[in-house]
Structure 1
Amino acid sequence: MRFTYVNTTQILFGKGQIGSVQSSISTQDKILVIYGGGSIKKNGVYDQIKESLKNHQWIEFSGVEANPTKETLDKAVEIVKQQNIDFILAVGGGSVIDGSKYVAAAAKYNGDGWDILTGDHQVSDATPLGAVLTLPATGSESNSGAVITKAATQAKLSFMSPYVQPKFAVMDPDVMKTLPEKQLINGIVDAWVHVCEQYLTISHGAMVQDGYAETLLRTLKTLGENFEQRDTDEWRENLMWAANQALNGLIGSGVPQDWATHLIGHELTALWGVDHARSLAIVQPSLLRNQLSLKRSKLEQMGVNVFGLKPSENLAEKTIDAIERFYHTMQVSTQLTEHGDNKQEAIDAVIAQLKQHGMNALGEHQAITLEASRQILTEAIA
């Protein structure tokens, strides 16, 4: 192992922590509060934010989509520039927080913000930001990554920069009380695949990373299997914390990572609007079967340590089946149906997108070529 690990985000976890916002941002700062479709005005979060910022100068920007688009976010970028905003407060789930990271970085750049996603501009500064998490799933509240969609070209790309790491993250599990069941399930699936992308690679002997990854997977599995307990404090707290720990950088430090499921899944979301988490559930089982020979050892380890399966010649295959059953118990499909009737046309469309975005060799071994992606999609698309 050889790595550098730091996580600079202050976590403010627990009931009533939204009130901590007032002491986390200087009263000298002019704040832009960014949020989504307005659910925070129905569940009481907006009122708590308003109370917490009563001694601050702030304005708001709403309307960030479930898959945040450059087109919407650029409007917020202009506000930051024109209004001389000193601090951004993202109030929402991963999409709002990702979008706010784009705004924070693009506001310090004179060119087209999309250059950040294509790699034509390297972020060297950003407006400081904090997050109030309302939907646990992505871990975006305490990492430096963001995924943004350009609606005009149906492109969904990501960027990472330490400059957009949130200064603080307020995590109050009480805000989950009004979330729809579908969003809670998406949170479980999203966090599950985040862990898998950093765990289901090769055997490497990093016992702490593997052990913690397995603990997170067992936790998420228990939450999914006990979904009827979702209205309890314990259930909510454990999902919010597990989703955060799944992608705060720790379990991926010093070990190989995959992320092919995400990169292929992004195209399903960009083309057909599939929920991010559900795009992952569609791609992952087919991808694991396609890459079975390279991932057999870790799949066997997962089968024993997460699912409690007994060692056997086909343990890896049984583990993939168990993953798929886990999704099915939560009524999450593992095949794409949103594409309509023309399967071949859908496969060709995804491959074209992958090719355009340079996704010609994915996975920890760079073994998922466009042809392998085509094979994966043939199994993943109904």
Structure 2
Amino acid sequence: MENFVLYNPVRILFGKGQTANIDGQLPKDARVLVTYGGGSILRNGVLNEVRTALGTRHVVLFGGIEPNPHYETLIKALPVIEREGINFLLAVGGGSVIDGTKFIAAAACFPGEDKWDLIRHREEHPVQAALPLGTVLTISATGSEMNSAAVVSKAETQEKFGLHSDLLFPQFSVVDPAHTLSLPMRQVANGVVDAFVHVVEQYLTFPVGAMVQDEFAEGLLRTLVDIGPRIMADPSDVDLRANLAMAAMLALNGLIGCGVPSDWATHRIGHEITALFGLDHALTLAIVLPHLLRDQQVYKRGKLVQCGERVFGITAGSPEERANAAIARIEQFLQQMMGAIRLRDYGITLDDASEIWRRFEVRNWHQGERGNIDGKAVQRILTAAL
């Protein structure tokens, strides 16, 4: 097991009716900017719960944050914060709203004129200060409610990048599974796949003797493979939604990534697909992952064999055959959740996709746990994904 430092200060308020308890999590004199997305919280009663819980505090609404939140939208919150004297942010929504709110929290305290520097040039401009924030989760997917990372897109340049800082941990997050019941099933499926791939990218690398982390990761994968199709078949089952909420949080709250190598290449490639072609984030992961695993199978074989046995019950065949069988089962699960998972199914040609590996080459990116997923590897992976 590798050395690690684990830090996670987020207070989770989990379960039905927990929104009412946010009153005790904010200062009584807080001036709150409530951020949200397309407006579903106005229709399904969640905003009313939040406003009731906030009581007499000064509250200002800021909506319209997109899936894959746009920098151009987020910076519009900054003059509102200044004008209204906002000193606390409350994100009410899914991962995109929470990610966007984390960026707003950092940008509001960043003295530079170009706030995009926090994202695109984060090494030179690390987050030095941020407004405090909390979240009320409505979509179980990204784990952003319990981590300090955010991903933001810039529509002008068709770029999508992330930032990370301990200053961007939410102070608290309300996770009421009932808040997810009104979601379109496409978003539910996206959430299952996003959580699944988060686990895979911290697990399917190479063995380092991290028995506890492996057991946690395998348990999460088994759970998602089990409950994903069941939720799609019975969307009203709150107990299943509660287990999805737990799995999504634990998939990316830092725990299973402690002391193990990780491989975020699927996410990095997927971000480029979203930035260029607008596909849902989870869909891009489902498109890329099976072909990345096949391309890297020889390097990941030990963990693929372990995954096949412990998650899917695959015990017959040579190590290579068992590794390939595990990949096939992963691909089958992703297809079951998402449907079509080929680039051509969404009108993306090989010529279109070439911009992605060109960006890898220009930026000299080397992704994966071994740093061997470069532009040429991306070309192989996306050609296979066509």
Tell me if both proteins adopt one fold, taking TM over 0.5 as the criterion.
Answer: yes
2:12–2:173 contact (8 Å) kept in structure 1: yes
2:204 corresponds, among 200, 205, 223, to: 200
Cα distance in 2 for partners of 1:266, 1:307 equals: 28
- Cα deviations across residues 118-154 of structure 1 (Å, max 9, x unaligned)? 2231101100000000000000001000000011000
Matched with 1:30 is 31
Matched with 1:323 is 330
Query: Aligned pair count?
Result: 379
Cα distance in 1 for partners of 2:190, 2:369 equals: 25
Report the alpha carbon displacement of residue 70 of structure 1 after superposing the two structures with TM: 0.5
Matched with 1:249 is 254
1:281–1:332 contact (8 Å) kept in structure 2: no
- Cα deviations across residues 205-257 of structure 1 (Å, max 9, x unaligned)? 10110000000000000012323233112101000111011000000011101
Cα distance in 2 for partners of 1:35, 1:331 equals: 25
1:127 corresponds, among 118, 128, 131, to: 131
- Give yes or no for the alignment of 1:186 onto 2:186: no
- Give me the identity figure in percent: 47
Matched with 1:4 is 5
- Give yes or no for the alignment of 1:345 onto 2:347: no
- Partner amino acid for 1:352? R
Cα distance in 1 for partners of 2:106, 2:306 equals: 40
Aligned runs of 1:147-296 on 2, under 5 Å? Answer: 147-227=151-231, 228-296=233-301
User: Which stretches in structure 1 are left out of the alignment for 5+ residues?
Assistant: none
Matched with 2:148 is 144
Q: 1:148 to 1:255 in 2, by over 3 A?
A: same
- Give yes or no for the alignment of 1:333 onto 2:335: no
Report the alpha carbon displacement of residue 338 of structure 1 after superposing the two structures with TM: 6.2
- Cα deviations across residues 185-220 of structure 1 (Å, max 9, x unaligned)? 111000000000100000111011000000000000
Report the alpha carbon displacement of residue 113 of structure 1 after superposing the two structures with TM: 1.3
Matched with 1:115 is 117
1:278–1:332 contact (8 Å) kept in structure 2: no
2:368 corresponds, among 363, 366, 372, to: 363
Report the alpha carbon displacement of residue 78 of structure 1 after superposing the two structures with TM: 2.4
- 3-state SS, counterpart of residue 105 of structure 1: helix
1:304–1:311 contact (8 Å) kept in structure 2: no
1:261–1:280 contact (8 Å) kept in structure 2: yes
1:107–1:127 contact (8 Å) kept in structure 2: yes
- Partner amino acid for 1:15? K
1:147–1:158 contact (8 Å) kept in structure 2: yes
2:361–2:374 contact (8 Å) kept in structure 1: no
Cα distance in 2 for partners of 1:67, 1:201 equals: 27
Matched with 1:50 is 51
- TM-score, normalised to structure 2, is 0.96
Cα distance in 2 for partners of 1:261, 1:147 equals: 15
Matched with 1:83 is 84
- Partner amino acid for 2:206? I
2:143–2:253 contact (8 Å) kept in structure 1: yes
Q: 1:235 to 1:41 in 2, by over 3 A?
A: same
- Cα deviations across residues 99-124 of structure 1 (Å, max 9, x unaligned)? 00000001001221110112231101
Cα distance in 2 for partners of 1:176, 1:211 equals: 28
1:299–1:316 contact (8 Å) kept in structure 2: yes
Report the alpha carbon displacement of residue 347 of structure 1 after superposing the two structures with TM: 2.2
Report the alpha carbon displacement of residue 355 of structure 1 after superposing the two structures with TM: 3.6
User: Which stretches in structure 2 are left out of the alignment for 5+ residues?
Assistant: none
Report the alpha carbon displacement of residue 330 of structure 1 after superposing the two structures with TM: 2.2
Report the alpha carbon displacement of residue 87 of structure 1 after superposing the two structures with TM: 0.4
